[in-house]
Chain A
Amino acid sequence: MTDPMHPDPCGQIDITVCIPVYNSAGEIARSVQSIITQTTTAQVEILLCDDGSTDETRAIIAGLQRQHPNIRLLVNDRNRGRPFSRNRLVAEARGRYLTWLDADDEKYPEMMDRQFQMLERLVAENGPEAIDGVLVFTNFHWLWPSEDAPKLMTPPEGDHHMEELLNARFGGYLWLMMGTTETFRTVGPFDTALPRLQDLDFFVRFVQKCGRFRRIESDAPQCIYYKDDRARGAMQVWQSWCHIWSKHRQIFNAYGPENALRWRRHHYRVARRFAKANRDWLTYWFIAAQEVFFIARARARTGFGV
């Protein structure tokens, strides 16, 4: 058997791992290493897209490429934002299946093997059409910098994906997902107007197009997300939430005004949390003031408490 991390250049690639990178010199080696050490026997391609980094990121990637020939690098001419990089990655992926990793997170060694086996099993049991529009996800660890032990996160696997996405119960991320490359292409390109929250926008469109999430058979966490609200512009987060709200307003409204308004308040809360973590009090109070105005207007219009 050939070494999966050194695939035959003419052979078929099973999985492409897409990693958008921007100024991640400190973390990129650790993330890529978590792919290299995967136990899977599938042929893996690691596809990175450097979004115009100004630190040593590219030199580090070049070093990794010398050791691991299955790493391929795309370079943007300038910093064009993460959605643009993601679109390039999806377009360039050569694997049958596609999964993601962000430059500062890690996959545990068995993650890709379990997801790959599950997809292959679905095909063997029900034919190739069974995985059209299926994204296979896992439970994950979530670690705040202030905490010692990671928290186990278990996104629910039910029939009402859209509701769970909109009310934030699902809490899934792109790097939890593996599906056919065609599935990612069918959903359509990532929205370049969204510097943040591309995952949510993508999943909403995915579910709207009759996509389904399936959990792997194991409940054990398969990767770790180093959660950190610092050094991330709260205003950017806030604007992304506003974009999501206006873009998918019709879908929010389909769940009734009470739910739509309750879920909208969650957007305010998250944006305020980012502002607080960054001690950006101007943005914090700006968002808080808007929230007060929003609640007052909603009460006046509909006459119920939100």
Chain B
Amino acid sequence: MARDMNTTYECNVKPGVPKRRQLTARPLHVAFAIEALHGVSGGAERVLADVSRIIHERGYRVTVITHEGRNGPSFYPLRFGIERVDARPRHSRRRKAPVLDRARGIAARSKIASIPIWLVQFVPMVLRLRRILRDTRPDVVIGFMPSMFPYMSLAVLGLPVKSVASVHNVPKREFGADPKRWNQNRMDRKMRRLSLRFSDAVTVLLPSFVRQLPLPEAAAKTRVIPNMVKRYEGPLADVRESPDEPNVILAVGRLADAKDHQSLIEAWAMLEDRFPNWEVRIFGNGPLKSSLSRRIRLAGVKRLKIHKPTPEIMSEYAAARILAMPSRHEGFGLVTAEALSVGLPVVGFATCEGTNELVQHGYNGLLANPRGGRARGFAVELEKMMTDAYLRTRLAAAAPKSVERFDPEVIADHWEDLIRSLVQVAHD
């Protein structure tokens, strides 16, 4: 596991000089920075735990920097040996002032007032991060998501630390297309875009995301590093139709607008009567739970149920026949990738970023065209998949191979390559 690390970059062994007087090699020090880890169960937090684990296993010194002021344990446990630092004082006193907050929120949208508001809000954070960097002295710091990398890219200015801005969602939305995402301050949105210029490298999850970055010059320093998908060791899904047990169409995801479970419900309402052996199971929780339940009642479908999220989701994949992925957009599509690794064919939308990169129409799944109505388009592809057992088996057979490129070791190689290239540049 622990691979022999070549740390000669700062170990210039000179012949004739006693060894003890020469610089000793030390492992490269990588810091991962993210706003919060305590009790946060999001995708990027999981990626951070996975990547930091493998990088640490490979012999690097790893520090995880947060700015949450809670100092509690991480939802996804970090590997023993990784140092954890919280930059924000825990009980920094803050008065509750909803009216003031509201007023500040409105003022932050104006061109002029947004600047002092931003400065008051974020300069202390930048200074705290800078102090941590000065104390821990990493070689490279990787800032995760727009709630961290803009401030980290400012905190490293003038320090011998290389900074990486790591984008973990669709860049268009991260950099302003969705104004409700991240801080709504005008200045903050500007700083988010500007930070791409300051950063020494940028990472995005999928190739098509590179051209979405708001700064065209950033493309040259951008690397595509997808998420890791663990290799599935258990028995693969058997997608043949069974006459005895229910044949399950599975949908997994937060019950939120972006996942568009509504289209799935409407599509199923068109199909249910013709497929008595089939049923739909949706696993998830979220803000739209009651509204979706109402829609299910109104549509009058009987064999479509919403279940709570389960930690045993892999066995649910393995017991299903088809994965339905009606999302409008995905940051990466970890659910899709996991289902493919279990050998489950996927039905998604051709316009859904994330899904359309993981799923190739007719190779490992089917992609619906939403032009004539999302539900109708989805129903067409779902029906094709349910009726054609040969097609399903063929797509299922190709599925696990199609996600081999996301194997943790392969992805860790990408990260390691990025870290080394930055340090190499610094050393040269």
Contact = CB atoms under 8 A, between A and B. Distances in A.
A88 to B, nearest CB: 20
B83 A208 contact: yes
Contact of B80 (A132, A162, A256): A132
Given A250-B132, A254-B88, A257-B89, A160 B80 contact: no
A210 interface: yes
A39 interface: no
A65 B163 CA distance: 57
Given A159-B72, A255-B71, A209 B88 contact: no
Contacts of B74: 210
Contacts of B83: 208-210
Contacts, number: 59
B6 interface: no
B81 A209 contact: yes
A253 interface: yes
Contacts of B71: 160, 162-163, 254-255
Interface string B59-73: 000000000010111
Contacts of A186: 80-81
Contacts of A211: 80
A186 B87 CA distance: 24
Contacts of B132: 250
Contacts of B290: none
A9 B422 CA distance: 50
A210 B135 contact: no
A254 B81 contact: no
Best-buried of B83, B87, B90, B135 by chain A (most CB within 10 Å): B90
Contacts of B79: 132-133, 210
Contact of A209 (B69, B77, B80, B91): B80
A258 interface: yes
Contacts of A257: 89
Given A159-B72, A163-B71, A256-B91, A250 B85 contact: yes
B82 interface: yes
A34 interface: no
Nearest to A205: B83
A209 to B, nearest CB: 5
Interface string A219-261: 0000000000000000000000000000000100111111100
Contacts of B91: 255-256, 258-259
Contacts of B69: 254
Interface in A36-74: none
A191 B87 CA distance: 24
Interface in B105-151: 131-132, 135
Contacts of A250: 85, 131-132, 135
A154 interface: no
A132 B1 CA distance: 15
A192 interface: no
A107 to B, nearest CB: 26
A210 B89 contact: no
A163 B73 CA distance: 11
Given A250-B135, A256-B91, A210 B81 contact: yes
A255 B89 contact: yes
A247 to B, nearest CB: 11
B169 to A, nearest CB: 27
Nearest to B88: A254
A165 to B, nearest CB: 12
Contacts of A253: 89
A210 B90 contact: no
Nearest to A249: B135
Given A163-B71, A254-B90, A258-B91, A210 B78 contact: yes
B35 to A, nearest CB: 15
A160 B87 CA distance: 17
Interface string A163-189: 100000000000000000001001000
A163 to B, nearest CB: 7
7 contacts: A160-B72, A160-B73, A210-B81, A254-B71, A254-B85, A254-B86, A255-B89
Interface of A: 132-133, 159-160, 162-163, 183, 186, 208-211, 250, 253-259
Given A160-B72, A183-B80, A210-B83, 6 more contacts: A132-B79, A132-B81, A211-B80, A254-B85, A254-B87, A255-B89
Leading 10 A-B pairs by shortest Cβ distance: A133-B80, A256-B91, A132-B80, A210-B78, A256-B89, A256-B90, A255-B90, A159-B73, A254-B86, A186-B81
